[in-house]
Amino acid sequence: MEVILKEDVNKLGHRGDVVKVADGYGRNYLLPGKLAIEATTANKAVIEQMKASAVRKTAKEKTAAEALATQLNEVELVFERKVGENEHLFGSVTSGDIAQQLEAKGFTIDRRKISLEEPLKTIGEYHVPVKLHREVTSHVKVTVKGDQPEEAAPAA
């Protein structure tokens, strides 16, 4: 089955592409999810208009993402977690935690856009990539600290 993508689909194509997919994938996922339309001759004529508007929409999204990226590069998040031996955390800092703290600072970012390969499980400073647009990636500085109080200096 041939379909015209209305949105970017991972590992399949970008908005406006005509792609060949399995019948079930098209009928059960792409079409009901409004991610694609069937590639008929009438729809292929409409695709040219879609491509022109998609170029404008993508350019607008990219400029907004670049502006947000410059703001995010300045952001520093600090997490305090319980620590065991060898500075290993009880629990971890996940992309959901990072998204939640970014939202508290006024940035609404979906946790799936935070490219954290594995949850952070040790104390330290990390630069976590945030994919805001297909061509724009920002980095957020994340510091993970232990919750144990520093040893107090002996009283004189």
Tens digits of per-residue pLDDT, 4-42?
A: 888 888 888 887 788 999 999 989 998 898 888 888 888
> 80-128: per-residue pLDDT in tens?
888 887 778 888 888 889 989 988 888 888 888 888 888 888 888 988 8
Q: Is 98 in the same domain as 117?
A: yes
Q: Is 22 in the same domain as 82?
A: no
Pairing of strands 124-133, 36-38: unpaired
Residue type, 79: F
In the listed set 40, 61, 82, which residue is the last one of a domain according to the structure? 61
Q: Quick check: is 117 in a domain?
A: yes
pTM over 0.75: no
Q: Is 34 in the same domain as 6?
A: yes
In the listed set 23, 44, 61, which residue is the last one of a domain according to the structure? 61
Number of domains in the chain: 2
In the listed set 18, 37, 61, which residue is the last one of a domain according to the structure? 61
Alpha carbon of residue 60 to chain centroid: 18
Q: How far apart are CA 42 and CA 142, in angstroms?
A: 50
Q: Nearest-CA neighbor of 18 among 6, 32, 28, 31?
A: 6
Q: Where are the alpha helices (DSSP H) in the chain?
A: 23-25, 41-72, 95-104
| 153 pLDDT higher than 50 | no
Q: Is 18 in the same domain as 53?
A: yes
Question: What pLDDT shows up at residue 151?
Answer: 46
Per-residue pLDDT band at 155 (split at 50, 70, 90): very low
Pairing of strands 120-122, 88-93: antiparallel
